[in-house]
Structure 1
Amino acid sequence: MSNSLQNSVESFGYKQELKRSISTVDLIIYGLIFMVPIAPWAIFGTVYNESKGMVPLVYTIGLIAMIFTALSYSQMSRRVPLAGSVFSYVGAGIHPNLGFFAGWLMLLDYLLVPTLLYVFAAESMIGIFPGTERWLWALVFVAINTVVNLAGVNSIKLMNRVFLVMELFFVVTFVIIAVKTLNGGTLPAAEWSTTPIWNSAEVTAPLIAAALSIAVLSFLGFDGIATMAEESTGGHRSAGRAMITSLIVVAILFIGQTWLASMLAGDTGAFPDDKAGNAFFDIVAAASSTGWAKAFLVCNVLAVGIANAMAAQAATSRLLFSMSRDGKLPAFLKQINTKQVPRNAILVVSGLSAILVIFFVGQIGLISSMVNFGALSGFLLLHLSVIWAYVIRDGSRNWLSHVVLPAIGFLIIGYVLVNSDVLAKLGGLSWLLVGIVVFIIYRKKGTGISAHESEEPARKAGR
């Protein structure tokens, strides 16, 4: 390990405990797995209906919107290369107390994301094996991911590469199927067209606003790269570069796949509600065969239930580890095993997921809304931390990077958050109230003092 990497952690008053073995390429792969290159498959029909057939436009808007948040992550990950992500960035960039609440809000996202993924995967497994129990499949996925995460970073890296190859294989297969069908005329309504990308007759301000909400939430996951910063071998700029790269790559994959799928759908108008969930797989069946459609469905289940959930579990455990190390959560969560991963934090995430999937099976909408509230609230504080740390604290005159770009990101995320589901707001505010109680308890115990309390190490590391 280089001295510069060692010092980047020790300059904040910490000891290097997590194993540094993740290259920038590994971080990019991790980000791709977290965002899932084939994510549009499961929601294609729903997004198609909401966007009047312009699904590629939705993901293009999403890329433009989220790049501002990725740039703010890049600025703060370079300044504060710690595993806590937004918790560490806001704590060191603004104030440790606000950092706690940033971390607490992101926990709502990170703790529920694995549960949401297990519920998604379990629902799909019922389609493959009718009559089986959803909760049983969910627990199987929980067990697999727990074993992989406890086995260490090298196991995660290997699994990420395997699943990325699998997903990209099916992406390429779909492209081949789609191009052959569009050129061969085997589907009468399918033809090459730019209408799915931009249909001037249908594009309106309300439609773009609605698309923005869908699109922003589709890219959640690239931020998980920041939680692996202390395990990176690529220097303090590695996490930021990986976030931006993975975001752009996955956006290109989203846009390309949905453009082809939209052309194959032809002039569908809108998918019936009972068909929207499987619209993409029905399109594959129509363009090729039922066998291929089932293979695509199996790939989707594995990508969500194992690959994506495994990445989410890893990110969540690192956030718990970081908050515990700073005395904001119980001390046992910072325990490291012989593989140099946060063993207890991983087990806690697994245990919570196993309990929550039993209660939340069939409640995808509710879990999704609460996940979104936590992520978006954390993003708002992230953008503020860039402005505060660089401009107010350091006196930076780089107005573009440190004021204009984070301000635009703040406004975009703020708009989506204000227009989010009422249940999401109520659930998020309830979670925030619980966080206030936890914060008060730990402050009274005198354990809520972290290395961030001393701003000097943070300032030195950030310069």
Structure 2
Amino acid sequence: MSHPTEPPRLKRALGLTGLTLFGVTYMTVITVFTTYGIVNQVTDGHLPAAYTLAVIAMLFTAASYAAMVRRYPVAGSAYTYTQQSFGGAAGFLTGWVMLLDYLFIPMINFMLIGIYLNTQFPAIPVWVFTLVALLLVLLFNILGITLVNKLNFAIIGLSVLLVVVFVALAFKTAFGGDTAVSLIEPFTFGEGGIGAIASGAAILALSFLGFDAVSTLSEEAKNPRKDIPRAIILSTLTGGLLFILVAWAGGLAFQPEWSTLSAGEIEAAGVTVMDVLGGETFTAFFVAIYVVGAFGSGMTGQVSVSRILYAMGRDGMLPKPLARLGRRFGTPIVAAVTVSVFALSALFLSLEAVAFMISFGALAAFAMVNLSVIRTYLFPKGGRRQPITVRAVLAYGVAPLIGFALTIWLWTSLQPATWLVGAIWLAIGAGIIAIVTGGFKRPVPKMDFSEGEPSTEQIDALGEKYPLLGDRA
């Protein structure tokens, strides 16, 4: 008797340790050097204090992501959670702000490639390296080449080695001389006070982008409803502690007058500190690893955002040509070119401005996830079916409210110019909603940011099958 062949399924092989390591790997520790000089300048050398504040804020937000994953144990995002909690319009605007975030992520990688390569080849202008990186990523995107992705594990391994050597050299430099070193001073507020530390922590939000990526492994986890929420918290805590360690070690060994450095020296501060600690050879190794990693990140980031634009064009939220695929390679050429044209602004924007914009989008999304927890668990659609317990109020009311308050505090600490650009972007998003819905007369179409999103009916069925207010997972 023959049996029908079952469709292939993802293997549930990942436990808590594997899921946590995935999240930590996604938040590569070398990210510290992306904004190393910028945040040190903003905080007057108190980068560890800024990271400490950022970690505290991110842990509350990570707890909110974990709560939403328990409610919707499928691949999701801030867009999905907001849409299911507050409706299509709020979900679209959250996704729209996230799109701004996605558009700037490839750009910052192109900029960093130019900045760091220029330190090794000063005769070649920064913009030349930036433009070449942009064009190469566009070419690979159109051709559908994903070779760089296969190098990710090697890049990660070398990055970890780099960080270990960096910390060892930093401690040797800090404690090897006759000058007394204050272990606590980098964690103080300094002359700028808590306001300067908050501004620095707001920029550092981009260091934590991707901790929620653990949620995409729901179908490959052995116990997704239990282990994925825990892995989100643990990866955020582990990654944050590593960020603090690297920032602290660097601060002990290298403490220049940040306010006196030029813009170029600030942007390439990672190279400067490497040169001080390990000399030219170590610096060259750092630049090589960083540039290769930035190129891979830029390419995967551009691939992701071009697919988002493609999906939005296909769904009618943006012009239809964005949904056009190339006949030969089957890739969204128009969307890819659009992202590259947007990224050309990297030739005249500053690294600081781009970092602020990425953090603007990230913090906006984090704020909405915190609110989504309160809406979903304490004030669900259709009314409550169970009485509110003290545990539920603390876990799904107080904790996300603190996370929301901290996120908004950091959000408002960004530069005024960032808010102006963000407000314009939101206004454009609202205009798109008005056009697509015929003046808000029709429902807002859904934007699908992943192929694994469930339907509303599936989500409702999950909610009925797994009521979470009494869940002890």
Partner of 1:417: 411
Could you tell me how far apart the structure 1 residues matched to 2:230 and 2:323 are?
27
Checking the alignment, whether the CA contact within 8 Å between 2:43 and 2:190 is kept in structure 1 is no
Q: Which residue of 2 aligns with 1:251?
A: 240
1:461 Cα deviation after fit:
1.8
Taking the aligned partners of 1:30 and 1:333, their CA distance within structure 2 comes to 32
Deviations 1:115-157 (A, max 9, x none): 22222222222333332513433225514863897649xx84x
Separation in 2 of the partners of 1:98 and 1:125? 41
1:224-269 Cα offsets, whole Å, 9 max, x none, are 555x357755564465444333322221221111211111125x45
What does residue range 61-460 of structure 1 map to in structure 2 within 5 Å? 61-129=53-121, 130-131=123-124, 133-140=128-135, 142-143=137-138, 146=141, 151=146, 156=149, 158-185=150-177, 189=179, 193-199=182-188, 204-226=193-215, 228=216, 232-233=220-221, 236-237=224-225, 240-265=229-254, 268-270=256-258, 272-274=260-262, 275-306=265-296, 308-313=297-302, 316=305, 328=317, 344=331, 350-364=336-350, 365-393=352-380, 395=384, 397=389, 398-444=392-438, 448-449=444-445, 456-460=457-461
Cα distance in 1, alignment partners of residues 411 and 370 from structure 2: 14
2:70 aligned partner, one-letter code: R
For residues 183-235 of structure 1, the C-alpha deviation after alignment (integer angstroms, 9 at most, x for no partner) is 543xx54x554134434875843344334334434433434555x35775556
Deviates more, 1:123-132 or 1:88-97: 123-132
Counterparts of residues 6-17 of structure 1 (less than 5 Å): none
Equivalent position amino acid for 2:432 in 1: V
- Shift of the 21–138 alpha-carbon distance from structure 1 to 2, 3 Å rule, reads farther
Whole-Å separation in 2 of the counterparts to 1:408 and 1:300: 35
Distance 2:304 2:354 in 1: 18
- The offset of 1:415, in angstroms, is 1.6
* Closer/same/farther in 2, CA of residues 21 and 183 from structure 1, 3 Å limit: same
Structure 2 gaps of 5+ residues are 1-5, 467-473
The one-letter amino acid paired with 1:377 is A
For the structure 1 residues 43 and 417, does the alpha-carbon distance in structure 2 shift closer, same or farther, using more than 3 Å as the test? closer
Q: Distance in 1 between matches of 2:220 and 2:313?
A: 20
Tell me the distance in 1 between the aligned counterparts of 2:230 and 2:286.
31
For the aligned residue pairs, the C-alpha RMSD in angstroms reads 4.0
CA distance in 2, matches of 1:453, 1:77: 13
Report if the CA contact (8 A) 1:321-1:333 is conserved. yes
Partner of 2:38: 46
- Residues 117, 309 of structure 1: 8 Å contact kept: yes
CA–CA separation in structure 1 for the residues paired with 2:95 and 2:189: 42
Deviation for aligned residue 1:314 = 5.6
Question: Secondary structure in 2 aligned to 1:258?
Answer: helix
Q: Which moved more, 1:231-240 or 1:122-131?
A: 231-240
Query: TM-score w.r.t. structure 2 length?
Result: 0.77
Measure how far apart 1:66 and its partner are.
0.8
- 1:9 alignment counterpart: none
Q: How far, CA to CA, are the matches of 1:151 and 1:290 in structure 2?
A: 32
2:470 aligned partner: none
TM-score (norm 1): 0.79
Residue 290 of structure 1 aligns to which amino acid in structure 2? E
My pick for the range that moved more, 427-436 or 126-135, is 126-135
